């Protein structure tokens, strides 16, 4: 999307240094990302909260160090990722990448000619999304918007110093949000699938997000699956897809998917190993490895609570894919009825697939998807190593083989990908 400047998201990887990764980010994105890392570093180094925290719940999470990373120390908390700058940097790159894929920090169509007045970001982390959303609406001429972020750890910088009407509330998401009913016009929820057991995700967190949303208000949820599959060649454009979404997918070299899109198990040996170990570990912690499926079910299961539901599911290949270079031709074009309102031009796009040569920007985006995924695997090393049954020297050899295969040998050429999803809707009165 013009104006966002996400030209070079790809880090030239060494995973332990996201600042080095940002050396290939250019323009507006680099300035934005580096400022976010600088202010987040400053904020997280202070244990006191400043004026940006208007009220807090009385929690003070403890931390433990494992494998050189800082984790939440409460054993009753299921959250498996570190709480440190390395992880925040990974999340920063991932969020920037997702905004590039979607073209904006918001996917729901309800704010095309208006803006919310009170916005809540659940599990805000460094509050990158709130900052980006503020800038997004400001460019459209809207400025009278208040933002509230809630998270268990105080990691966000003082966004008031950056011109936002901002407050941070420290809170454990396993209990009800500390806000009255109908407090917000827009509730944004991102990556909460790892913050609570699978059984509590839809019933507690998402249901409580609706409680604090006013009738007619907008809820939007972004999630990413943690198990990886292989996208089979040349997936068809799902019926009902808009031309705008098709164009955005072509620009970003991503694929719009649906429940009927064909996938296979991961063909890459290392990602197959990871899938097995992650599933075993998450079963023990009662976490879902596929939060997209659970989120989709939650939105569709209560039509009396949420209306005008929309969704966008995307597959982001981890690199150049063999069947993209090969292309296909001569397929029968889908009927107009199947396209459900798509243009003839879109039908032609779907009837003949030419060999795809990725642009540097598209390669950079896929490289970012791969890099942040490897960083995610690295963050989960303590639990994955246990499930693998490997000694430390065996794990180190596996890790070296994986990074070489994925980063240097294009080990995902069969089509292994990151699957992401967005859901939105209006709260019924």
Contact criterion met (CB below 8 Å) for 172 and 152: yes
Q: Which two tokens stand for residue 321?
A: 């894919």
Cα–Cα dist 290/419, whole Å: 9
What phi-psi label fits residue 221: left (phi over 0), alpha (psi between -120 and 50 degrees) or beta? beta
Contact criterion met (CB below 8 Å) for 6 and 30: no
Contact criterion met (CB below 8 Å) for 200 and 301: no
Q: Which two tokens stand for residue 119?
A: 């916005």
DSSP per residue, 14-77: -TT-HHHHGGG--HHHHHHHHHHHHHHHHHHT--S--TT-S---S----EEEETTEEEE--TT-
Q: Which two tokens stand for residue 92?
A: 């920063």
Cα–Cα dist 211/51, whole Å: 27
Taking the C-alpha atoms of 33, 278, 318 and 420 in order, what is their torsion angle to the nearest 10 degrees? -70
Nearest alpha carbon to residue 318 among 420, 391, 238: 420
Residue 352, pLDDT score: 58
Residue 301, pLDDT score: 87
Distance of CA 395 to the CA centre of its chain: 28
Q: Over the chain (429 residues), what is each successive 10-residue block's mean pLDDT? A: 35 39 41 49 43 50 88 91 95 97 96 96 96 96 96 92 94 93 97 85 83 98 98 95 95 97 98 98 95 92 92 97 78 37 48 79 97 98 97 97 97 98 96
The contacts of residue 92 (CB under 8 Å, 6+ apart) are: 18, 33, 36, 37, 40, 126, 128
Q: Where are the beta strands (DSSP E) in 251-394?
A: 255-257, 263-265, 306-317
Residue with the two structure tokens 């969020």: 95
Residue 16, pLDDT score: 42
Cα–Cα dist 276/227, whole Å: 9
Residue 355, pLDDT score: 82
Residue 99, pLDDT score: 97
Distance of CA 198 to the CA centre of its chain: 18
Residue 354, pLDDT score: 73
Backbone angles phi, psi at 117, to 5 degrees: -100, -35
Residue 35, pLDDT score: 52
Contact criterion met (CB below 8 Å) for 167 and 148: yes
Element (H, E) at 121: strand 118-122
Contact criterion met (CB below 8 Å) for 91 and 194: no
């Amino acid at each position: 999307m013009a104006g966002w400047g996400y030209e070079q998201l790809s880090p030239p990887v060494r995973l332990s240094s996201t600042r080095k990764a940002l050396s290939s980010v250019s323009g507006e994105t680099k300035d934005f990302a580096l400022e976010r890392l600088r202010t987040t570093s400053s904020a997280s180094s202070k244990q006191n909260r400043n004026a940006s925290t208007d009220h807090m719940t009385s929690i003070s999470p403890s931390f433990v160090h494992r494998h050189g990373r800082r984790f939440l120390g409460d054993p009753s908390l299921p959250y498996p990722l570190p709480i440190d700058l390395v992880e925040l940097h990974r999340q920063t790159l991932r969020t920037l990448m997702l905004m590039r894929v979607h073209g904006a920090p918001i996917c729901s169509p309800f704010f095309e000619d208006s803006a919310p007045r009170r916005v809540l970001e659940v599990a805000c982390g460094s509050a990158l999304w709130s900052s980006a959303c503020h800038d997004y609406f400001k460019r459209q001429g809207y400025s009278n918007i208040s933002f509230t972020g809630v998270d268990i750890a105080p990691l966000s910088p003082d966004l008031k110093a950056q011109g936002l009407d901002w407050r941070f509330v420290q809170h454990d998401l396993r209990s009800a949000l500390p806000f009255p009913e109908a407090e917000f016009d827009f509730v944004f929820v991102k990556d909460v699938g790892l913050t609570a057991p699978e059984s509590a995700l839809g019933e507690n967190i998402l249901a409580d997000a609706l409680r604090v949303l006013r009738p007619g208000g907008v809820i939007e949820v972004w999630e990413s699956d943690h198990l990886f599959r292989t996208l089979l060649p040349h997936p068809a454009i799902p019926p009902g897809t808009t031309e705008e979404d098709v164009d955005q997918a072509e620009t970003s070299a991503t694929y719009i998917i649906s429940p009927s899109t064909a996938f296979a198990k991961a063909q890459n040996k290392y990602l197959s190993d990871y899938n097995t170990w992650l599933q075993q570990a998450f079963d023990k912690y009662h976490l879902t490895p596929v939060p997209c499926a659970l989120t989709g079910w939650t939105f569709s299961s209560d039509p009396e609570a949420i209306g005008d539901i929309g969704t966008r599911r995307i597959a982001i290949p981890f690199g150049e894919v063999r069947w993209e270079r090969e292309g296909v031709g001569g397929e029968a074009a889908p009927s107009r009825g199947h396209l459900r309102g798509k243009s003839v031009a879109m039908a032609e796009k779907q009837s003949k697939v030419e060999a795809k040569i990725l642009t540097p920007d598209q390669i950079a985006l896929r490289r970012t998807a791969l890099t942040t995924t490897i960083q995610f695997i690295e963050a989960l090393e303590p639990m994955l190593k246990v499930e693998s049954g490997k000694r430390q020297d065996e794990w180190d050899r596996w890790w070296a083989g994986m990074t070489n295969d994925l980063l240097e040998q294009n080990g995902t050429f069969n089509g292994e990908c990151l699957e992401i999803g967005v859901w939105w809707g209006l709260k019924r009165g």
